[in-house]
Structure 1
């Protein structure tokens, strides 16, 4: 079955494909254990940088044995806590074997750095993909993407693992043509024990659940709130809780008040709004679980959605949303660099 339909160079997602169809994995799942004191350069050629974040740098690389292209996340550690965080991420990734979750290939602990080799995903971020001029955004397409996210999260939750950082940047497209996605970045992921209390103070404010910003117990329901926010943005191009800064955003999240009274939602079906309403529930125990989300009418009865309706206004607003997020990330990067420079200069002065 073809993954896309072409018409006048425009890209339509094949909205009838389910997450189980045409499963593609780049390599067989491997039993990955961290190799100690082995130089990864003996087995892999490290190539140019692909990107970097707060907790590491990702490079393109090749397996010298079979010439397979991969991505490798390299994280330097000076403290035991930093090392444990990366070891936890590798351990969790190694236990997840699902077509909609990024595959781990190999791992090393060498020279005070941890190396995590993973499949290379080249389709770009989901939101970047759907705002492309040649992409036709419809409600059915949105449901197809959200269904895959829920499928991956339901699998994770069945293994008592919670992601805790679901956001647009962590949902990648497998290619620039098909409709397959992959969940990435398990740096904040945790194993969950329902008999133990767990609170966290990390994540992205805009997509964090009320229990996170209020420092209350978290659980699988915390991921479901984030899916609700992603769905709201994908269908409307608007963010339900974002404020002028993180403090205002967290305040908005804590009240859990949002609205569908925007023009973007005029073309959105009642069943899609019902899906969001069952996720953006402040009381976590009443929030829809992943297994129930997959049984929701919006995800299983695509024929009930308006056929072929293009969400033009949503796409226009999504473009603005993506540009604004790029600007914010760039501004934060500049602020971070300036802070490092100030700390560095202060250190030099104090040691002069």
Structure 2
């Protein structure tokens, strides 16, 4: 974390030390909780504006991390923290590692890109996870399957229509983020650019 420069959508690292056999890390405090808690508490789908704000925020953070050739590998709502001043920040870098140093680490299976099961991972594996998070926000899902047929169906036959016609463009972008083949999947930079372009068409 100390090798990644500060970014408004990434939790900032302050300092770290060891004492008595324990390793301590001081991080930035975000007092708004995490996205998982927000999804759990919702009784109705998020507004289109809210989905756009959150998605563009954590994709901006992801693009920044990927610029250093680091993979997060555990992107999920629990690790996206809410801060009043910027909206959302990526945290929990326990599995973060450079692309060329990966050794089969894998995060939460609910958000896992399929190629990781074949011992392949790139920064686009994070994009897959990000796409599932946006899908979860659009569909107002409390959780995603972690294994079994539903896990495979979500990846192999991904298709959905947004409940709000104004979100159709975003649904198409999500489909490009969750391609089974990483070579055909959007990069974090391309995904962010597409979502920002889509967001510029939204009306208040």
Q: Quick one: higher RCO (CA 8 Å, sep 6+), 1 or 2?
A: 2
- The answer to whether the aligner puts 1:258 opposite 2:140 as a matched pair is no
Q: Indicate conservation of the 8 Å contact 2:45/2:137, yes or no.
A: no
- 1:300 maps to which of 170, 184, 197: 197
Deviation at 1:133, TM superposition (A): 7.1
- The answer to whether the aligner puts 1:159 opposite 2:68 as a matched pair is yes
- The answer to whether the aligner puts 1:232 opposite 2:135 as a matched pair is yes
- 1:200 maps to which of 94, 104, 110: 104
Q: 1:266 to 1:132 in 2, by over 3 A?
A: closer
Q: Please, what TM-score do these two structures have when normalized by structure 1?
A: 0.52
Deviation at 1:109, TM superposition (A): 1.2
Please list the CA deviations of residues 34-61 of structure 1 after superposition, one character each: whole Å capped at 9, or x if unmatched: xxxxxxxxxxxxxxxxxxxxxxxxxxxx
**Equivalent residue for 2:29?**
120
Q: Indicate conservation of the 8 Å contact 1:199/1:218, yes or no.
A: no
Secondary structure at the aligned position of 2:15 is classed as strand
- 2:170 maps to which of 240, 249, 272: 272
**Equivalent residue for 2:94?**
187
Residues of 2 paired with 1:136 and 1:250: CA distance?
22
Residues of 1 paired with 2:186 and 2:76: CA distance?
18
Residues of 2 paired with 1:134 and 1:207: CA distance?
23
Secondary structure at the aligned position of 1:278 is classed as helix
Deviation at 1:222, TM superposition (A): 0.3
Q: Indicate conservation of the 8 Å contact 1:281/1:287, yes or no.
A: yes
Q: Indicate conservation of the 8 Å contact 2:72/2:93, yes or no.
A: yes
**Equivalent residue for 1:48?**
none
**C-alpha RMSD of matched pairs (Å):** 2.7
Q: Runs of 5+ in structure 2 lacking a partner?
A: none
Please list the CA deviations of residues 288-319 of structure 1 after superposition, one character each: whole Å capped at 9, or x if unmatched: 011111221x42242423x45xxxxxxxxxxx
**Equivalent residue for 2:121?**
218
Q: Indicate conservation of the 8 Å contact 1:129/1:173, yes or no.
A: no
Q: Indicate conservation of the 8 Å contact 1:232/1:239, yes or no.
A: no
Deviation at 1:249, TM superposition (A): 5.1
Q: Indicate conservation of the 8 Å contact 2:45/2:138, yes or no.
A: no
Q: 1:232 to 1:204 in 2, by over 3 A?
A: same
Write 1 or 2 for the structure with the bigger share of helix: 2
Aligned residues: 203
- 1:108 maps to which of 4, 17, 26: 17
Deviation at 1:179, TM superposition (A): 5.4
Q: Indicate conservation of the 8 Å contact 1:129/1:135, yes or no.
A: no
Please list the CA deviations of residues 194-216 of structure 1 after superposition, one character each: whole Å capped at 9, or x if unmatched: xx7x452521111000112x223
Q: Runs of 5+ in structure 1 lacking a partner?
A: 1-91, 309-352
